Amino acid sequence: SPPDPDRALRRARVLSGQVVSCSGEDHADHAVAATESPLAWTRRAGDVFGPGDWFLVEQPLVDAFAQCTRDDQWIHRAGADTPFGGPIAHGFLTLSLLPVLCKHVMPTHAWATSEINCGFNKMRFLSPVKVGARVRATVLVTAAELLDSKNPSAGTQTTSKVTIEIEGTTKPALVAEWVTRQYGCLER
């Protein structure tokens, strides 16, 4: 039969449902104060946010990620006998959890109309995440710069060092230098 072009979209929806359902945490009491302006945000360079709430990495999430990405290596399957003592999550699955892990760690920007992911300057997987493990994020803002010095309300570019910790281990799952942009209102 011909390939189903909507399959990846359906799998992504399943995966996003798994992310929401796996955490089960109530974040209402973990709110970080919002920043009031792009200039105020640039003054936060050097600040550390977190650690955040623990997030449980369960087999259904790993299975959904494997189906969505078509990365079905044996080390990710339930019951796998691996050198790590059982199945492990995909490294890219752990990386893809950054938005959900950082959501309640980082402050919101009251002035921002949108925020985009620009990518990573550096990223290293340091330790595998076993299925059933819990992970959480800590974020160090290494740089926050205005996009336009003549128009500070245009927004900022932020570089953050994000560390994903695995509960009960000393070595992190990954460390990433993540670049994002926060856009404010454009004055004319």
Residue with tokens 């927004």: 155
Read off the pLDDT of residues 50-71 as tens digits, 9 standing for 90 and up: 999 999 999 999 999 999 999 8
d(CA 62, CA 90): 7
Reported as type and span, the H/E element at residue 188 is none
In this prediction, residue 43 carries a pLDDT of 96
187, two tokens: 């004055």
Give the mean pLDDT of 127-145: 98
DSSP structure string for 123-185? EEE-S--BTT-EEEEEEEEEEEEES-TT-GGGEEEEEEEEEEEETT-SS-SEEEEEEEEEE--
User: CB of 147 within 8 A of CB of 181?
Assistant: yes
Task: Give the DSSP per-residue string, 73-118.
Answer: -GGGSTT---TTSS-B--HHHHHHTHHHHHTTTSPPBTT-SEEEEE
pLDDT tier for residue 23 given thresholds of 50, 70 and 90: very low
Give residue for tokens 């004055």. 187
Claim: this prediction has a pTM higher than 0.95: no
* Amino acid in position 123: M
Is the previous residue joined to 51 through a cis bond, with omega within 30 degrees of 0? yes
**Contact yes or no for 69/90 (Cβ under 8 A):** yes
Q: What pLDDT is stored for residue 31 in this prediction? A: 61
Over range 95-114, report the average pLDDT. Answer: 94
